[in-house]
Chains A and B, each alone.
Chain A
């Protein structure tokens, strides 16, 4: 009995004390808040998280990182169905077509204002239009704000080009391939200089000819769907000339034998990068860091030339606030700060991820950016020129599934399991099952 009453009085004292304290401290600033973030890869950079904590000591960022982005997507479906998700979720571009048909799973960022009184409407002009469009729902609601942009150019080995009797200067190299046909022709010329023994051991002009497919596809304005204002879009993959062009160009490259048979992001690929198994690769801006870490011995031997056909993009992410988020205000404050030009500049300087805010493309930090690893190429200028050439491209609901079927089709041709015609026919029949 005695014990119980003691506890009660202790609780009373505690309560009174905390009430008293509450009156003294300014209420708003001290409200501690925890923002939960679901992300993957390097979307949320530690150095900037530290900066934000210094600015907002009351905010705790709880970051949950998935290794595989497909699993991240799986969690998002579950979160939306159950109405129990994080405050911020990173969505990869290949999922953007899917999520654009389900805007109800997200907070419409036009309806929420940050501490500067800005909503998504007010900051839209800061971002590349084609990149911004990847975060807009079918009903025009804004569901995600773009992080970096994976501008695509050609990384090539000057030492290997020299050995093959090709020019090594980046302007001359870029002049070799204004078109994809010329690019493939250059590859053929390179292969002529490769000895039979090297050919047998798997040496090629570029790492994976299959990567040409999405590069060509993204240079158009339409992919698999036409935007007809509905939630899914209208399927046009079978008739869109841009799809056929991407397919045919890749088949030509495969048949020309200019690629090694290595797939990207495999063990063989990493080894090949060091060993000089291939002399060129289509490299998004973020790939430069990857090459540096995987093939440090090749420093100074690389250079960057521009893409055939003009510009390209690979990858990218949007930061979203799920509809079920508990701390929407704090989440929006963080996102609008984290993805603002000033912070994107810091991410670029620290981690080499290319900003999606074109106002930075004239910033001396970018225009003057060169890298000794890449033979002092002005990579900042080269990449921003390519990025500005791109136009908005509509991402439809089952983009990823269609991409997968196309990729498998090209794989069957590459491994000589089927002819190009057989494989295309199977792609179409497979896709009937997927989209039917």
Chain B
């Protein structure tokens, strides 16, 4: 055992003056520059053409609505009014920042996001680890059924979960009753309604994310596990010191995508409560639900556009934070 370690070159020993940190990948040699030949030679001329469809679609369905929304956010806008629209400057924005309904929605969104994202990560990675196990029979079958929640319609999910979380005859309350816990009115309470919505989101996305983690896990070289087990690492230790550090980039990716989705959660609170206001004291009104309510119930399109702009700004800020964290993590790996 020790003989193996002794054979390392002096150069390698020089690098590992610091204790080995499994969270930081070892230095890798730079890949040789690809020779420009074959498909590669198309890069210059044709590359733009190949990526054009995305950018054309983005211009039409992404950028144009953003610009238009920004424009109408400065008006008292009514799309069905044939006459000129009323310009009201920054009123929509200043009103919004003092509107307690907006802050309630923001808080609800963040709370539901936190409640759904972190348990979901743990469940997804756990599921992926089970699916990776060499002892699992019928792996393809299990991997396939993980996607079923994701392809089920949100409306159907909401109906089923609405029944599970019913106050009087719901199954969740029935089980709680066995332990002498009085019935919880999930929809009326703030935290309890957030739990119900977060459960729906988690159920829907945990399997999908597990597959992403699984793909990433399968890319981890077996040698790492072999040498770890040679060093006497238990299965749990291998998971903590080999699997998790190798998943770092995937975790960041899933977190960013999940955050952007989480800030736009809409169908679950809409169908759970069945109304646009997100409950009698707006206890589960989210940002997008608030936007929808302003436009389609209250007929305040300019105000709704202002909400949309603020959601974009919030998503941008969160994405930037994520971006810098990713860059820092990646930067530690390379030069």
CB nearest neighbor in A for B283: A417
- A267 is an interface residue with CB less than 8 A from chain B: yes
Give the residue of A70, A73, A77, A404 whose beta carbon is less than 8 angstroms from that of B80.
A77
9-residue interface stretch from A30-38, A373-381, A408-416: A408-416
Residues of B within 8 A of A418 (CB): 281
The residues of A that contact B159 with a CB separation of less than 8 Å are 267
Q: Which chain B residue shows the least CB distance to A99?
A: B80
Cross-interface CB contact of B155 among A67, A70, A262, A268, cutoff 8 Å:
A67
Across the interface, do A268 and B170 meet the contact criterion of CB distance under 8 Å?
yes
Q: Is the CB of B277 within 8 A of A271?
A: no
Pick from A265, A268, A433: contact of B166, CB under 8 Å: A268
CA distance A81 to B155 in the complex (A): 27
Task: List, in ascending order, chain A residues with CB within 8 A of B296's CB.
Answer: 70, 73-74, 77
Count of chain B residues near A, Cβ 8 A: 28
B281–A417 touching, CB < 8 Å: yes
Contacts of B297 in A (CB 8 A): 400-401, 404
B95 to chain A, nearest CB (A): 8
Expressed in whole angstroms, the Cα–Cα distance for A262 and B275 within the complex equals 15
**Contact assessment for B169 and A271 in the assembled complex, using a CB-CB cutoff below 8 Å:** yes
B269-322, CB < 8 A from A: 274-277, 279-282, 296-299
Q: From A102, A266, A411, give the contact of B280 (CB < 8 A).
A: A411
Q: How many residue pairs between the two chains, A and B, have CB atoms under 8 Å in the bound complex? A: 87
Q: How far is the CA of A104 from the CA of B159 in the complex (A)?
A: 38
A45-73: which have CB < 8 Å to B?
Answer: 67, 70, 73
CB of A119, distance to nearest CB on chain B (Å): 25
Interface string of A397-408 (1 = CB under 8 A from B): 110110011011
Q: Dominant SS at the B interface?
A: loop
Nearest Cβ on chain A to B129's Cβ, whole angstroms = 36
Q: Is B143 an interface position by the 8 A CB rule?
A: no
Question: Judging by beta carbons under 8 Å apart, are B168 and A408 in contact?
Answer: no
Q: Which residues of B contact A401 (CB under 8 A)?
A: 297-299
Asked whether B276 lies within 8 Å of A404 as measured between CB atoms, the reply is: yes
Q: In the complex, what residues of B have CB within 8 A of residue A266's CB? A: 162, 166, 274
Which residues of B (224-267) have their CB < 8 Å from a CB of A? Answer: none
Residues on A with C-beta less than 8 A from B274 are 263, 265-266
Q: A272-B168, A404-B275, A412-B280 are in contact. Are A267 and B298 (CB under 8 A)?
A: no
Given A267-B170, A398-B299, A401-B297, verify A105-B80 contact (CB < 8 Å): yes
Chain B residue contacts of A263, Cβ below 8 A: 274
A401 to B166, CA, bound (A): 26
Chain B residues with CB under 8 Å of A77's CB are 79-80, 296
Beta-carbon contacts under 8 Å, B115-174 to A? 155, 159, 162-163, 166-170
In contact, A408 and B281 (Cβ under 8 angstroms): yes
A328 contacts B by Cβ under 8 Å: no
Counting from the closest, the 9 A-B pairs by CB-CB distance are A411-B280, A267-B163, A408-B280, A271-B169, A268-B166, A81-B79, A415-B188, A102-B80, A412-B280
Q: Interface of B with A (CB < 8 Å)? A: 79-80, 82, 99, 101, 155, 159, 162-163, 166-170, 185, 188, 274-277, 279-282, 296-299
Given contacts A272-B168, A404-B297, A417-B188, 15 further A-B contacts (CB under 8 A): A70-B276, A73-B296, A105-B80, A267-B159, A401-B298, A408-B275, A408-B279, A408-B282, A410-B280, A411-B188, A411-B279, A412-B280, A415-B185, A415-B280, A430-B101
